[in-house]
Amino acid sequence: MLIAIEFIGKNGPVAKQKLFDHLVNFTNPDKDAQVKSRGGATNDVLYYIREILRFVEGDDTALVLTSSVHTTGINLYSGKDLYAVKLRGDLQMAYTMLQTNNLHFSPEIRDMLAFISKKRRARRADVGTEYLKKRVYGHTFNQATIDFALKTLLLLGLIELKDNYYSIKYIHPLMFAQILLEEYQEHENPVDGTVSSDEMRDLFDLKYEMGYDDFDKSFSAVRLLMPQLIVTGSYGKYSMDMDVARRLNLYA
């Protein structure tokens, strides 16, 4: 994906065929072999970065990077944002941008990430048992899409695979927000709809082995990414706006 973003950023507007030729040359020097499969892979990349992640816009004759991505309630990244950090050589920030747009526009993948986080370690069989034929945010999983989701999470650097177990590699704010919302719903005060920040810190420490500093960093990251989601109350309490959560597909 980054190769495609960089090529369009340098040469845009570009035709789909030019992008195809560039990606084919980069990924497979043998132009006489596997033409059909390479063409399909190129189409998949373009579909993903244009239709799903919103990094690219325009028709097949004039592809350009997006200047902004307007989604109410969350600060997403544009193609030009991603291209700029790639030019600076900031691969960590580039991956953060890829992760953020992926987890927002593919909430079913984020849900799987949260599942792995809550289990701490999960085998492929555990994930399959949980998600096979399960409908999540409008998406029904099958064996192929389960494998695709796991591969995507691995490529994005969000999980790792060791000794046949998947585990969390990076706590992304969107995944943390989903789990935070679940715990908020479980523990909110029925009178005023708030929870205690200190009690939630304790809960995440005991239940998820997340220390106070990590909790505070993730909490702050959620507030920066989704400014309207968390509503600050008095006496160290807060609530979460469920209408915002629904709009952001954090809550079905």
Residues near 141 by Cβ (< 8 Å), separated by ≥ 6? 108, 131, 132, 133, 134, 135, 149
Q: Say which residue, 63 or 45, is predicted with more confidence.
A: 63
Average pLDDT for residues 57-65, to the nearest whole number?
Answer: 95
Residue at which a domain ends, from 73, 96, 119: 96
Query: 113 and 87, same structural domain?
Result: no
Query: Worst-scoring range by mean pLDDT, 2-11, 28-37, 113-122?
Result: 28-37
3-state SS, 166-201, equals EEECCCCHHHHHHHHHHHHHHHCCCCCCCEEHHHHH
**CATH assignment at residue 162:** 1.10.10
Flag whether pLDDT at 95 surpasses 70.
Answer: yes
Could you tell me if residue 228 is inside a domain?
yes
Same-domain status, 145 and 198:
no
Contact 142, 132 (CB under 8 A): yes
Mean pLDDT of the chain: 92
In terms of Cα–Cα distance, which of 70, 97, 71 is closest to 83? 97
Lowest-pLDDT range of 34-38, 143-147, 229-233, 237-241: 34-38
Picking from 47, 63, 96, the residue at the C-terminal end of a domain is 96
Residue 25's pLDDT band (cuts 50, 70, 90):
confident
Q: Return d(Cα 116, Cα 124) in angstroms, integer.
A: 10
Q: State the average pLDDT over residues 59-65.
A: 95
Pairing of strands 165-168, 159-162: antiparallel
Least confident interval from 13-27, 32-46, 145-159: 32-46
Domain span holding position 183: 173-247
Measured distance CA(170)–CA(19) in Å, rounded: 32
d(CA 74, CA 66): 17
Whether the per-residue pLDDT at 32 is higher than 50: the answer is: no
